[in-house]
Structure 1
Amino acid sequence: METHSLRKRESRNGSADHTKHKQNVKATMLQKEIGLVSGICMIVGTMIGSGIFISPKSVLLYSGAVGPCLLIWTACGVLATLGALCYAELGTMITKSGGEYSYLKEAFGPIVAYLYSWTTVMVLKPSAFAIITLSLAEYACAPFYPGCSPPIVVVKSLSAVAIMTIVTVNCLSVKLASYVQNFFTGAKLLIILIIVVAGIVLLAHGNTENLSNSFEGSTTSVGAIGLALYNGLWAYDGWNQLNFITEELKNPYRNLPLAILIGIPLVTVCYVMVNIAYFTAMTTTDLLLSPAVAVTFGDRVLYPMSWIVPLFVIFSTFGSANGSCFTAGRLIYVSGREGHMVKILSFISVKRYTPLPALMFGGMLSLCYILPADINTLINYFSFAQWGFYGLTALALIVMRFTRKELHRPVKVPIVIPGLMVLVSCYLVLAPIIDKPKLEYLYCAIFILSGLLIYYPCVHLKVSWIHRLMRPITMHLQLLLEVAPPEETVEEDDQKL
């Protein structure tokens, strides 16, 4: 009798221990580890790259004077905020990672979503990642080659090292990637603070000549103003990054809109104040002739501490590249999970809980994009496609107001805001094509539509021999990388506003 009772107690204890062990083991899925501060740092850190430090002269060139230039920077910040508010409604209504991909799929179906993921995964994300690391490499090499440009081989090799380092950090841990993002966001805000304070000091000393008669010589051309807006909005690009990681965001119903409402106005204030600081030390001619505006400002105002500017530009570009890699990996992961990419790309590391195959695939594509002589031209021609997808996403919000009325909307923006975003996107897509029509735009459109040649046999028809070919490859990669398919689909967050 006692032996039977003892066995019963041991059985109960064993069962309790097993249950406790199961509770302690995390499911093989992306974990909610991104808080409000990390979310703000993701937005700010990705938006503020090298652009504000190197080439704000494009906005000045097309606006023609200081006053319109500052107005353009402010208007671009307002437009970015309005666009992000649309994304806040979408992100709290459809709490899936993947950004535009998830929203386009819900509103317009799988074909439009696939064309978005095809274009973004294969061209936009990896080429942007490559451009940011190339900028980082140029600044890092410059002190070692005074008076001349660093060798292309050295720049590209350093860029490759940066890509591999960032991908490794993101593969190791979500928390580590978040800490890196937070640190480098703090670093870039520090250098912006230094530049702004230096500008305020110069203003207090009466250096206001360049700010007086600030509208003299301004342009009235609609085309020129459009190009100025286009260049300004390019510097603000990244305002939608948090929507790519919604599944990893703690309490997305609260933190997503809050991070947007704090992060983007903060970037707008930084951009306007930095431009004012530049004009306290440089004339419009000086600014237009400067190869790197922040470095010229540092040489004139911060000497003998001017070396801190290029150092912090390196920090800024590294942080921006880290944010770009982080979000690109989530888009690739979601595309794989939905069956629009090969299945292995949706697998998650069983030890690290990171989308390891997706991150590695994005990194390898970026390494390929640093090989061509000039990929900036490629990005310029494909940027019209980016704004086309922004417009489609805003249109998706309007469409789902009528077709998906049952969806819970913790954040609901006035319908005029997505309507305005659709109009602005149409203008930004058509303006460069009408202003300077080139065959390259046609080639880009053909590339986007060519995704259908892969979609039809591989996704729609699901041709059996392709899947048989991929099965052993998937199995071997799964064993090699120690990854597994996600155990659960997206969990709905119980906490709501």
Structure 2
Amino acid sequence: MDNNTSFKPSLRLMDATMLVAGSMIGSGIFIVSADITRNVGSAGWLLFVWLITGFMTLTAALSYGELSAMFPKAGGQYVYLKEAYNPLVGFLYGWSFFTVIQTATIAAVGVAFAKFTAYLIPQLSEDLVALNLGFITISPAQLLSILVIVLLTYINTRGVNSGKIVQTIFTMAKLLSLLGLIVFGLFAVKASVWHQNWENAWSMHSLKADGSISTYTTIAALGAIASAMVGSIFSSDSWNNVTFIAGEIKNPKRNIGLSLALGTLIVTVIYILTNIMYTGVLSLHDIATADKDRVGVTASQQIFGSSGTVIIALLIMVSTFGCNNGLIMSGARVYYSMAKDRLFFKKVGTLNKNSVPGFGLWLQCVFACLWSLSGKYGDLLDMISFVVVVFYVLTIIGIFILRRKMPNAERPYKAFGYPVLPIIYIIMGIAFCLLLIKYKPAYTWPGLTITLAGIPVYYLINLTQKKAEAA
């Protein structure tokens, strides 16, 4: 029953900032530096990839501040795209968001939680079989992932304050833990390792598992940077989740833009410092060849010895649990806005007695659990970095469009550095996407296909609506 007709604004600036930072930091920072190092082969270029990703993230976040102040309501990016372009573009984002971007990310983060829990409880390993149904085998890690997703969904159906408490506690815990890891790591820096890694810091090449290297042509080097950025962009994504929950933020015209700036800045600084620490305790070869790409585990073992594995496992468990809470809390608000526009199931557009979209939360939960069972979420996440950046570029172009379409609209906050910084982001985003199309087509076409599959779905929904109205 829909007992409440509107969201309750109860999230302060601190809560919104914790949502931004908490949704960004999952397990990526502990893993993706291995693949980045294999692509670029040097400490300088490793840091450059993280710096350029941080610059793009901050620029996009500062640009979104204008849009969030113009449209301070639930749905965020879906609403911005709909207003700047048309309902179809907004729907394609919402469709991609529901089918893959948010639900597969929730699944991947949930399984990451379970994988690192298995360091402490081996019986939960992803390599074991808990259920064999013939057509599918399910590991204990997948079952634990589903349990966590269901638990966090239930907590968030109890009201925004329940999700807020979990988010703030776990985000603060992981920020302090990451800072602790960085500080201990910097004290453990080995002069010989540091010198070796930074001696030829700007010599770019691919670094293979056997230690051999191969150089790039200039254009191929740009392709290597784009390929490397797939991981860093995924690790820095989901910062925009706070815009989805705008209807529940106090003074949203001010606090959403501020939380975007503060949250992305905090995470960018932490990511840069973490990678500086990696290059001080591990050789580039060790980073590139870390077991299952778990650079964080390898570094922690160097810093803390035999207890390093337990320490990093606990840190990643806290990190992924908090990350998934933020993703689950915010995602359902997009589907709610789509349902209000009659582009999604009608029931998703209702609020439960706790003033949250309960049905939307449970529907998201079901899809995320199915992705957990599929085991294919990791492949898809590599493939959607392209689509995610395409929609970011379209949204930032939307700032220019809306300034023409709505010149007199209230803009309590304007995009920082407009028009220069937004234009730089647009150019960088388009270059990233074009380079991926050329050098990593497997990372582009599946995500693009899923997005474009939403076009016939959109027209089918509209046709159904017209027939219902005619009847």
Per the shorter chain, which TM-score range? 0.7 to 0.9
> Shift of the alpha carbon at 1:403?
1.1
Quote how far apart the aligned CAs of 1:77 are.
1.0
CA distance in 2, matches of 1:163, 1:401: 40
Match of 1:194 among 180, 183, 193: 180
Q: CA deviation at 1:461?
A: 5.4
Deviation for aligned residue 1:203: 4.2
Q: CA deviation at 1:443?
A: 5.0
Match of 2:363 among 361, 364, 382: 361
1:213 to 196, 199, 209: 199
Residue aligning to 1:263:
263
Task: Find out whether 1:170 has 2:170 as its counterpart.
Answer: no
Distance 1:192 1:111, change over 3 A: same
Distance 1:43 1:443, change over 3 A: closer
* Contact preservation (8 Å) 1:210, 1:279: no
Match of 2:243, as an amino acid?
A: N
| Corresponding position: 1:119 with 2:96 | yes
Separation in structure 2 between the aligned mates of residue 226 and residue 195 of structure 1, nearest angstrom: 28
Q: Rg: which structure is higher?
A: 1
* The 10-residue stretch of structure 1 (458-467 or 177-186) with the greater mean CA deviation from structure 2: 458-467
1:52 to 18, 23, 29: 29
Corresponding residue number in structure 1 for 2:208: none
Matched, 1:82 2:68: no
- In structure 2, what residue type is equivalent to 1:320? C
| 1:153 aligned to which of 139, 148, 151 | 139
Deviations 1:144-181 (A, max 9, x none): 33998641521111111011011011111211101101
1:409 is paired with a residue whose SS is coil
Matches of 1:225 and 1:63, distance apart in 2:
7
Instruction: Identify the residue that residue 227 of structure 1 maps to in structure 2.
Output: 227
* Alignment partner of 1:322 out of 325, 338, 345: 325
Show the counterpart of 1:251. 251
Distance 1:169 1:147 in 2: 23
Cross-structure match for 1:138: 115
Q: Which residue of 2 is the match for residue 387 of structure 1?
A: 389
Amino acid at match of 1:65: S
Residue equivalent to 1:279: 279
- 1:242 is matched with which residue? 242
Within 2, Cα distance between the matches of 1:197 and 1:153? Answer: 36
- Show structure 1 runs of 4+ deviating over 6 A: 204-207
The offset of 1:214, in angstroms, is: 4.6
Residue 421, structure 1, aligned to residue 398, structure 2: no
Residues 72-122 of structure 1 deviation map (CA, whole Å, 9 limit, x = unaligned): 212211110000011111000111221211011111111111111111112
Q: Which residue of 2 aligns with 1:91?
A: 68
Query: CA distance change for structure 1 residues 149 and 408 in 2, over 3 Å: closer, same or farther?
Result: closer
Shift of 1:441: 4.5
Counterpart in 2 of 1:447? 450
What letter matches 2:332 in structure 1?
Answer: G
CA contact (8 A) 2:152 2:325 kept: yes
Assess, with a 3 A threshold, how the Cα gap between structure 1 residues 399 and 216 changes in structure 2: closer, same or farther.
Answer: closer
Are the structure 2 counterparts of residues 362 and 65 from structure 1 closer, same or farther at C-alpha, using a change threshold of 3 Å?
Answer: same
State how far apart, in whole Å, the 1-side matches of 2:280 and 2:445 are.
Answer: 43
Rounded to whole Å, the distance in 2 between the matches of 1:315 and 1:223 is 34
Moved more, 145-154 or 226-235: 145-154
Closer/same/farther in 2, CA of residues 442 and 296 from structure 1, 3 Å limit: closer
User: Secondary structure, in 3 states, of the residue corresponding to 2:6?
Assistant: coil
Separation in 2, partners of 1:275, 1:428: 22
1:430 corresponds in structure 2 to 434
* Residues 435 and 327 (structure 1), Cα distance of their counterparts in 2 relative to 1, 3 Å cut: same
| 1:89–1:410 Cα contact (<8 Å) kept | yes
**Distance in 2, Cα, partners of 1:327 & 1:103:** 16
Kindly provide the amino acid, as one letter, of the partner of residue 330 in structure 2.
Answer: T
The one-letter code sitting in structure 1 at the alignment partner of 2:430 is: C
Q: Distance in 2 between matches of 1:105 and 1:216?
A: 43
**Contact 1:171/1:359 (8 A) holds in 2:** yes
1:4-25 per-residue CA deviation (whole Å, 9 max, x = no partner) reads xxxxxxxxxxxxxxxxxxxxxx
- Which residue pairs with 1:411 in the alignment? 413
Aligned length: 441
Query: Match of 1:378, as an amino acid?
Result: L
Q: For the residues of structure 2 that align with 1:184 and 1:299, how far apart are their CA atoms? A: 24
Q: Per the alignment, do residues 466 and 210 of structure 1 end up closer, same or farther by CA in structure 2, a change over 3 Å counting?
A: farther
| 1:444 to partner: Cα distance | 4.1
1:229/1:450 CA distance change after superposition, 3 Å: closer
Residues 131 and 375 of structure 1 are in contact (CA less than 8 Å); yes or no, is this contact kept in structure 2? yes
Q: 1:346 aligns with which of 346, 349, 352?
A: 349
Identity %: 27
CA contact (8 A) 2:74 2:337 kept: yes
1:377 aligns with 2:379: yes
CA contact (8 A) 1:457 1:463 kept: no
How far off its partner does 1:60 sit? 1.9
CA shift, 1:464, in A, is 4.0
Q: Which runs of 5+ in 1 are unaligned?
A: 1-25, 469-497
Q: Cα deviation per residue 1:172-211 (whole Å; 9 max; x = unaligned)?
A: 1211101101111112112211211112313498863345
Whether the 8 Å contact between 2:230 and 2:382 is mirrored in structure 1 is no
Letter in 2 for 1:270: I
Alpha-carbon RMSD across the aligned residues, in angstroms, is 2.3
Summarize the Cα distance change of 1:446–1:74 in structure 2 as closer, same or farther, 3 Å threshold: closer
SS in 1 for 2:52: helix
Q: Structure 2 length normalisation: TM-score?
A: 0.88
Change (3 A) 1:68 1:450: closer
Residue 401 (structure 1) shift: 1.1
Summarize deviations over 1:440-488 as a string: whole Å, max 9, x none. Answer: 85454343233232322422551446999xxxxxxxxxxxxxxxxxxxx
Q: For 1:43, what is the secondary structure of its paired residue? A: helix
What stretches of structure 2 of length at least 5 have no aligned partner?
Answer: 129-137, 206-217
More divergent stretch after superposition (45-54 vs 251-260)? 251-260
Q: Which amino acid in 2 is paired with 1:312?
A: L
The 1-side partners of 2:261 and 2:452 are apart by 35
1:16-55 to 2 correspondences below 5 Å = 28-55=5-32
Equivalent residue, structure 1, for 2:135:
none
Distance 2:123 2:290 in 1: 17
SS in structure 2 of the partner of residue 28 of structure 1: coil
Q: State the distance in 1 between where 2:241 and 2:91 align.
A: 19
Asked whether the 8 Å contact 1:138–1:150 carries over to 2, the reply is: no
CA 1:150–1:464: 2 relative to 1, 3 Å: same
CA contact (8 A) 2:191 2:280 kept: no
